[in-house]
Structure 1
Amino acid sequence: MKNPRDLIKRPVVTERTSDFLDQRKYVFEVDLRANKTEIKQAIEQIFKVKVVGVNTLRMPAKPKRYGRHSGYTSEWKKAIVQLSADSKPLEFFETSV
């Protein structure tokens, strides 16, 4: 297996992904070549939690312009990870009020 910290790039924190926290779902940007099994093992190894399911999406490149120059943003892969009911929540997604 590859290094788990190379597979999981960063958490994705948006309004939509913060709504998933009630369902114990967390969203991460992952390596384009990572599969669901590798993502599950990496999350379990890094955070010491039990993963029930993993859904992945490939986010397509979008056309962008800057003045007269045009190009595309990078394509990336998103993973939605479902934790088991007895797992502890991930601390960096929690907000203190």
Structure 2
Amino acid sequence: MDKSKNQVVTEKSIRLLQQNQYTFQVDSKLTKTEMKNWIEQFFDVKVEGTNSSRIANKSGRKVSKLNLNSTSRKKMIVRLKRNSFIPLFLSQA
């Protein structure tokens, strides 16, 4: 699925792993239901819930006179049911 871009690795997302919650950066047009279905099919786990938030672009330099400050990024936090996990960090030894 090319709508799920990558996993977000920050201090907060690592803390959320202890609560069985995983953070992904996704396409801005993706819905919660589509993400839930994809996670359940791809990783063979049961999703308890999803939270999503749009991340605004940084308004540093203006490229033109028009201020194109659209929200092009979206972050989703997926909460799994107990005894389910997604192997995010695989050891390659």
TM-score by length of 2: 0.81
Pick the aligned partner of 1:54 from 30, 33, 50. Answer: 50
Aligned residue number for residue 81 of structure 2? 84
AA paired with 1:54?
T
Residue 87 of structure 2 aligns with an amino acid whose one-letter code is: E
Consecutive aligned runs of 4 or more in structure 1 exceeding 4 Å deviation: none
Unaligned runs of 5+ in 2: 64-68
Q: Select the structure that is richer in helix.
A: 1
2:29 to 9, 27, 33: 33
Count residues with an aligned counterpart.
86
2:66 counterpart residue number: none
Question: Following TM superposition, by how much is the alpha carbon of 1:90 offset from its aligned partner in structure 2, in angstroms?
Answer: 1.5
Aligned CA-pair RMSD: 2.1
| Unmatched tracts of structure 1, length 5 or more | none
Shift of 1:46: 1.4
Instruction: Work out which of the residue numbers 6, 13, 19 in structure 1 matches 2:9.
Output: 13
- In structure 2, how many angstroms separate the alpha carbons of the residues matched to 1:37 and 1:92? 21
What is the identity percentage for the equivalent residue pairs of Structure 1 and Structure 2?
A: 41
